[in-house]
């Protein structure tokens, strides 16, 4: 009897964890399209194929859901960086940063991930969101610095180039045939 109850409980927990994962993945696209302020939990629920009440069982409010989305995206970024660092062709800072940049360029092919992080920056006037996006940047910068061994200036340049890449990708600058776009796209990878 106890083992049956244990299996039942673990299956319910697994289902809740699976649903949470689905809601987070779905919320990325929903928040990316309309931002924090323009998206409702009802829209997230509908896109995830669950009730709004179930969203609230998983997340106490929209802000908590959005913060969890930021953290989810941050984990995806760290995983991509860790994989790239492990596969880097050398251990010197420049080679590792190059591998991390390549991984980031491939990661933001998922425009929803890119746009939701940009939306998070735009909603940083909300303290919980500001804290979450700060924590995300802090983890990424510290990870890049630690894994690459690069100087603070090189890490700053790497992050600044990433922000430029974000903007160029978001506005689809690669579709523009104009001098300004060519200048800004010089040396930027797009997939």
Share of the chain above pLDDT 70, in %: 93
Where residue 150 falls among pLDDT bands split at 50, 70, 90? very high
Q: Stretch 93-112: mean pLDDT, rounded?
A: 95
What pLDDT, in 10s, does the model give residues 8-55?
A: 444 555 587 888 999 999 999 999 999 999 999 999 999 999 999 999
Where is average pLDDT lowest: 40-44, 87-91, 138-142, 185-189? 185-189
Whether 169 is covered by a domain: the verdict is yes
Domain CATH for 124: 1.10.357.10
Query: At residue 57, does pLDDT exceed 90?
Result: yes
Whether 25 is covered by a domain: the verdict is yes
Amino acid 183: pLDDT: 97
Query: At residue 166, does pLDDT exceed 90?
Result: yes
Number of structural domains the chain divides into: 1
Domain range for 46: 2-185
Q: Are 63 and 126 in contact (CB under 8 A)?
A: yes
Amino acid 8: pLDDT: 47
Q: Stretch 130-143: mean pLDDT, rounded?
A: 97
Whether 191 is covered by a domain: the verdict is no
Whether 190 is covered by a domain: the verdict is no
């Amino acid at each position: 009897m106890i083992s049956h109850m244990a299996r039942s409980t673990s299956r319910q927990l697994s289902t809740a964890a699976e649903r949470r994962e689905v809601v987070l993945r779905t919320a990325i696209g929903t928040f990316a399209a309309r931002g924090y302020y323009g998206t409702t939990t009802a829209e997230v629920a509908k896109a995830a194929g669950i009730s709004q009440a179930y969203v609230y069982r998983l997340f106490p409010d929209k802000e908590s859901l959005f913060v969890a989305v930021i953290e989810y995206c941050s984990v995806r970024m760290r995983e991509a960086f860790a994989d790239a660092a492990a596969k880097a062709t050398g251990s010197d800072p420049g080679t590792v940063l190059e591998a991390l940049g390549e991984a980031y360029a491939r990661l933001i092919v998922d425009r929803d991930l890119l746009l939701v992080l940009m939306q998070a920056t735009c909603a940083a006037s909300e303290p919980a969101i500001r804290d979450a996006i700060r924590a995300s940047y802090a983890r990424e910068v510290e990870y890049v610095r630690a894994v690459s061994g690069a100087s603070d200036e090189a890490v700053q340049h790497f992050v600044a180039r990433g922000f430029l890449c974000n903007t160029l990708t978001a506005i689809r600058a690669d579709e523009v045939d104009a001098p300004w776009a060519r200048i800004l796209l010089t040396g930027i990878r797009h997939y």
